[in-house]
Amino acid sequence: MSESPFATTVDALRALLGDRLSTGSSILEMHGRDEAYTAPALPDAVAFPETTQEVSDIVKICAKSGCPVIPFGVGTSLEGHIIPIHGGISIDTSRMNNILEVHEQDLNAVVQPGVTRTQLNEELRATGLMFTVDPGADATMGGMAATRASGTNSVRYGTMRENVLALEVVLPDGQIIKTGSQARKSASGYDLTHLIIGSEGTLGIITKLTVRLFGQPETILSATCAFETIGGAVDAVILAIQSGIPLARVELLDDVQMKGMNIHNLDMNLPEKPHLFLEFHGSEAGAAEQVGMFRDISDEFGGSDFQWATKAEDRNKLWKARHEAYYAAKALRPGSDGFVTDCCVPISKLAECIARTKKEIEKSGLIAPILGHVGDGNFHLVILIESGNVAELKAAETLAEAVNLLALELGGTVTGEHGVGVGKKKYMKSEHGAAYSLMSTIKRAIDPQNIMNPGKTVTID
């Protein structure tokens, strides 16, 4: 560590944290990569704070030397968000994992950033309440807020943007601030809570969250439904939403993805056609009514092969298969790496976007199954490439770029939920125009030393 420009900083942090500061090679490597296809980079050290005050003290020490600070949850991000491309200190919040308060009457909970979504829901089970944002990975609440995560429930219950009421944040100078409140709405001042949500650790480190909760539904019904075309599946969902059916989950999987699902889940045995995976929440009568309405609509668009999952174990099995879609995709080409990208378009443009994406996939010569949150207009590609094959990596990058530019052409965004990180930073000016410069101005005002996760999302001189 003596050769590091931040060696003095590391020494000061070791004096503060003792053995909760690590420079061990395995720990550094764990914090030098996420699940993206991005080149890894090692931090100088990894800090494991246990309190907000310790996070503040760490940041103050780093600010004195201009040492980069990179927040770390569990490393499930997909665009290189947590990779310390300029070195520095990775702040791992896994030990800040307490559920501090549950306010059942107010339908909210106060948690530390290292709490995972499954941990929170296990705690809530006996209360009849639930936290609904479900990105698939068992991500931390702090990481989910920092990346503005969403998931399969978002079509009904919203994303992290709608489900965080208040935050405690450590700023780049070590100052601790609180944003928002337990009130469901406010017209007081700038909306700093939603400025921090989705900022990907570039403006501060989240140390406490107040999140919305919902009542667990009386009845949950899940189903799969096959379609002859992607367009038919999308049009059925559009009409269902326009008809006021409160779909809790509606996921789209193309024929290629379904082939992988059957390989990965040997007992699934569903037709290798475009599919919707659906879920309906409500009273027993209400959920049944929603199902009947959707079946009538799907019949108009060629829906067939309905298969129902009413028992909890069957529903869990279905959604476990959906959450493991990445591994199912990789089953189409054993031993391959998955290059993952996403985009989001107005739902009216989704069928066109996917159809044109499939042409780009064919042009690339690669296998790239498609799946997504059709109710939100958001879909993902898992582009399968041979590990170490430079030509295929280049082809995957070209394909991902074509899909992202197509989304912009159709009035959408280059990322519906994966975030920017380093992977999609190059598209930001094209998407946001002059507003991107304003983002840089905000970053410069809050973090003039550029120590908070530098090189991600925005660029400042």
CA distance 89 to 79: 19
Q: Does 160 share its domain with 73?
A: no
Q: Does 110 share its domain with 203?
A: yes
Q: How does pLDDT run across 172-227, given as a tens digit for each residue?
A: 999 999 999 999 999 999 999 999 999 999 999 999 999 999 999 999 999 999 99
pLDDT in single tens digits along all 461 residues of the chain: 446 789 999 999 999 999 999 999 999 999 999 988 888 999 999 999 999 999 999 999 999 999 999 999 999 998 999 999 999 999 999 999 999 999 999 999 999 999 999 999 999 999 999 999 998 888 999 999 999 999 999 999 999 999 999 999 999 999 999 999 999 999 999 999 999 999 999 999 999 999 999 999 999 999 999 999 999 999 999 999 999 999 999 999 999 999 999 999 988 889 999 999 999 999 999 999 999 999 999 999 999 988 888 888 999 999 999 999 999 999 999 999 999 999 999 999 999 999 999 999 999 999 999 999 999 999 999 999 999 999 999 999 999 999 999 999 999 999 999 999 999 999 999 999 999 999 999 999 999 999 999 999 998 86
pLDDT at 1: 42
Supply 119's token pair. Answer: 């941990």
pLDDT at 5: 87
Q: How many domains does the chain fold into? A: 4
Q: Does 277 share its domain with 346?
A: no
CA distance 400 to 38: 14
Residue 164 forms part of a structural domain: yes
Residue 432 forms part of a structural domain: no
Q: Does 166 share its domain with 117?
A: yes
CA distance 409 to 299: 32
Rounding to the nearest 10 degrees, give the CA dihedral for residues 379, 383, 384, 385: -160
pLDDT at 3: 65
Q: Of 74, 94, 114, which residue sits at a domain end?
A: 94
Residue 437 forms part of a structural domain: no
Q: Which of 3, 106, 90, 99 is nearest to 47 (CA)?
A: 90
Say which CATH number the domain at 271 has.
3.30.70.2190
Q: Of 187, 215, 243, which residue sits at a domain end?
A: 215
The b-or-e profile of 19-33 (16+ CB within 10 A means b, else e) is ebbbeeeebbebbbb
Q: Does 164 share its domain with 232?
A: no
CA distance 410 to 423: 21
Residue 429 forms part of a structural domain: no
Residue 446 forms part of a structural domain: no
Alpha helices (H) in 43-94, listed in sequence order: 52-65
Q: Does 110 share its domain with 171?
A: yes
Q: Does 317 share its domain with 250?
A: yes
Distances from the Cα of 72 to the Cα of 34, 85, 200, 407, 422, angstroms: 10, 14, 10, 30, 15
Q: Which of 342, 149, 376 is nearest to 241 (CA)?
A: 376
Helices then strands, each counted (H, E), the chain:
17, 18
- Domain limits for position 47: 7-94
Residue 442 forms part of a structural domain: no
Q: Does 351 share its domain with 414?
A: yes
Angle between helices 350-364 and 230-242 (to 10 degrees): 160
Q: Does 183 share its domain with 114?
A: yes
Residue 425 forms part of a structural domain: no
pLDDT at 309: 86
Q: Does 108 share its domain with 211?
A: yes
Q: Of 327, 343, 359, which residue sits at a domain end?
A: 327
Q: Does 11 share its domain with 85?
A: yes
Residue 439 forms part of a structural domain: no
Say which CATH number the domain at 357 has.
3.30.70.2740
Q: Does 340 share its domain with 323?
A: no
DSSP H/E element including 221 = strand 219-226
Say which CATH number the domain at 43 has.
3.30.43.10
Whether the Cβ atoms of residue 251 and residue 371 lie closer than 8 Å to each other: yes
**Structure pTM?**
0.94
